[in-house]
Chain A
Amino acid sequence: MTPIVAMNNWFSQRMQRWLAARVPAVSHVLLDRRNIFILPTGPGLLFLAATTLIFVTAINYILSMAFGLAFLMVSVFLLSILYSFRNLQCLSLRGLGAEPVFVGQDAAFAVLLEGEGQRPHEMLELHFPGQRWSHADLLDNSQARVSVFLPARQRGLLKAPRLVVQTRFPLGLWRAWSNVDLAMQCLVYPVPVAGPLGGHVLASVSGKSEASLAGTEDFHGLRNYQAGDSLKQIAWKSLARGQGLKVKQFVDNADDRLMLDWAMFPGLSSEERLSRLCYWVLELDRGDIDYGLRLPGLEIDLGRGEVHRRKVLSALALWNGSKGGQGDRSA
């Protein structure tokens, strides 16, 4: 590491520490004079340059009114500090978190902006350093919800960095900004990659096979109708015979249940395996099939539905190889 890089790192660390002390991380931040910073922008400097030119001309030609013009420009320049500041002041930010995404997608962190009192807040710009900007205005309404984007590059918990909220209102001469840490994070699932299932498919579920689990293929018997049963399964014939509302029960012998296993993808790295598992979780979820997940050191039982899917995907997102203990390419 060259000394300059080291210096830079040292500075940025100091900066982060200073910011952490000055604008601590909380899910709710109210902007006030302690955490708003303000500096002139490029156009602001251009404006000052024009002012200087006018001032010098005024001196040389002894033009009182040109002096007046220059002073008016200076006054507007100074006054707009207050306007910019006021545009951020009393604005509160609340981190609402983000929906999980897959690696490669943009995580959309939702931020709730609220103004205190009747004051409008215009032309607010938010972003994570280096990312694209999101915009919001609080005009007559006192709240606005903005999504701020951050690309998810890595599986796991994506911690949102400090959020920059800035404004160049009213004249673009000043940039008032604040760096706030709303302590937001987003769950990042592995990127789904298609790949064939390994040979252990049947073996992996054999232990779990029980006749009572519902299937769709073989007729098993009739039972009383319960609300929520599919109309397709109602035994219309027995209804016609006056035996009441009955439902046909089926059982599959060929399994419609699948235990996804780490060992199904031999010869791949752990990330590649997780990606394939992720793909199959999505496929199975779509296919209305019960599925479970077995990872080194972790097992999720069979199930289906939104909640189950989330649970399985979270496991894939957060699985940590070192805890699992199993080697990468061993199986």
Chain B
Amino acid sequence: MQDRIQAAIDEISKVLLGKHRQIRLALCCMVSGGHLLIEDLPGMGKTTLAHALARVFGLDFNRIQFTSDLLPADILGVSVFEQATGRFIFHPGPIFRQLVLADEINRSTPKTQSALLEAMEEGQVSVEGETRPLPSPFFVIATQNPVSLAGTFPLPESQLDHFLMRIGIGYPDPRAERQLLERSNEGDRGEKLQQLLTVEDLREMRLAANAVALSPLLLDYVQRLVAHTRQSAGFHFGLSPRGSIAIVRAARSWAWLEVRQHALPEDVQAILAAVVEHRLRAATDGDGRTGAALAHRLLTEVDVF
């Protein structure tokens, strides 16, 4: 099974050059059944990655471009009075898909954001008093621009917490960039990606990842990490229990991706930055201002044993 994952990674790498690690993290997030937030500057390949993931898994896919005038109903759907039948008919919104790409999520108003995030959390949608389940599996891959850019509504911490991981893509390395430039005339390669996995595969992977063993020593380590964010100076607030569960879930999936039946501290460390960065905020302005710096502090300050 892991061979096929590797194949999928290779496949996606064809469109997102030199970003093995990010792709792996994204897959890890999907195997864990969590939602993914991709944050980076425009043009770095956020959308490409989301497209590629959908295609490789053969998921039912929809893209929602978030804008400031997007209303909750535009996502969730509306009931429209149909004259022919004389009844209200529910027109499902674009969210009723297995994989939803919420593009530039921080350009929409908080109201719209929270509609999406509520759906993510509950796995169902309540419209006009009626609850409608979302398909299974249900993934949201949201992209956003760095918060400091103009014209954005930053997601509040409470909602960031709903994303299992946040990853950045980063600039390509020079070799990858050269390749990209050489190929620039070939057009969108995303269309050419093969479907390598199925929804069934994804379910199996999830089960397998859940079977990965967690030793007491490893859980101690996770608890120490979480405790550190809660106790030490420099952290504005600590990780929530949801955060610590997220660490364990992601670490399990990562261990499974590494073809192991047990999780190691290294697995925790591999996913830690992606899982906690967007959940942490520094207490004071200073060098350790960013979530990335805080995650790095966690890795270097909390010992494994």
Contact = CB atoms under 8 A, between A and B. Distances in A.
Contacts of A306: 148
A112 B234 contact: yes
A228 B150 contact: yes
Interface string A95-119: 0110100000000001010100000
A97 B287 contact: yes
- Give the interface size class of chain A: 10 to 19
B232 A142 contact: yes
Contact of B153 (A143, A227, A229): A227
B68 A145 contact: no
Most buried by B among A112, A141, A307: A112
B151 A96 contact: no
B151 A144 contact: no
A145 B233 contact: yes
A234 interface: no
Given A227-B153, A228-B150, A96 B288 contact: yes
A251 B107 CA distance: 26
Given A97-B286, A227-B67, A112 B233 contact: yes
Contacts of B286: 96-97, 99, 110
Interface string B104-121: 000111000000000000
B152 interface: yes
A245 interface: yes
Interface string A210-239: 000000000000000111110000000000
A145 B235 CA distance: 12
A145 B282 CA distance: 13
Contacts of B67: 227
A306 B287 CA distance: 15
B232 A226 contact: no
B152 A227 contact: yes
Contact of B285 (A99, A142, A307): A99
Contact of B233 (A97, A143, A226, A245): A143
B150 A145 contact: no
Contact of B151 (A99, A143, A228, A245): A228
Interface string B279-303: 0000011111000000000000100
A306 B69 CA distance: 28
A302 B233 CA distance: 38
Interface of B: 67-69, 107-109, 148, 150-153, 231-234, 284-288, 301
Interface of A: 96-97, 99, 110, 112, 114, 141-145, 225-229, 245, 306-307
